[in-house]
Amino acid sequence: MCVCFGAMIPALYSDDDILIIDKPAGLAVQPGEGVRICVIDAVERDFGFRPWLVHRLDKETAGCLVVARSRHVAAGLSAMMGGHGAVKTYRAVVAGSPVPATGAYGDDVVVRGKSTSAETRYTTVETDGRLSLVEAELGTGRMHQIRQHFAGAGHPIVGDDKHGDFKLNRVLAREFGAKRLMLYAARLRLPLRPPVDVASSVPAHFAAFLESWGHGAGA
């Protein structure tokens, strides 16, 4: 899928130390093979400084992403984003209906080939039994943590091409046009002075899926 990132990246919050952007789906956070433009490039282009990364979002995950304006600020933010104070809330559409409707997953996840501890707390926002709109809050900040936890519980995220149900993904792509990962970083709260609390927009592909599905109108 070809995605154009010529438009300015929306800012959700900015001060002398940090910038929080509303990252579009399909935009990689950092340079890599096949990456024509990444968050680092886009921030420098749109906001006039070379950012320091303090956490990551998958390329296909949209939403709240904070970057630092200096190395000194980045050091403190990295610890905060790693599970020491920041509250990161995601929204996703998953297969089935989690039981219980509100709970937590604490199984280890695999990061770069190694098993490591992780915690994901979740709440079911809406369900029709076949699919569910959920909110997930990270207790830790592991790579693909939410995707692994829901898949491991038998409720893979719709559109997940790594940990998902590939057969179901094909069915939902035909039925609802679900061709992207149905996961986004919906809200970010930072315990700064004063506290920072921002919410992202609902990504266009996510909103279109909810409309086709006929649920989640309040998302």
User: Over the stretch 183-211, which tens digit does the pLDDT of each residue have?
Assistant: 999 999 999 999 999 999 999 999 999 99
Is there a catalytic annotation at residue 58?
Answer: yes
Q: Which of 47, 39, 45, 85 is nearest to 64 (CA)?
A: 39
Pairing of the two strands 183-190 and 62-68:
parallel
Domain ranges across the chain: 11-213
Select which of 41, 58, 160, 165 is catalytic.
58
User: Over the stretch 24-35, which tens digit does the pLDDT of each residue have?
Assistant: 999 999 888 778
Q: How far is CA 90 from the centre of its chain?
A: 6
Range 11-213 has CATH code 3.30.560.10:
no
Taking the whole predicted model, whether its pTM rises above 0.85 is answered as yes
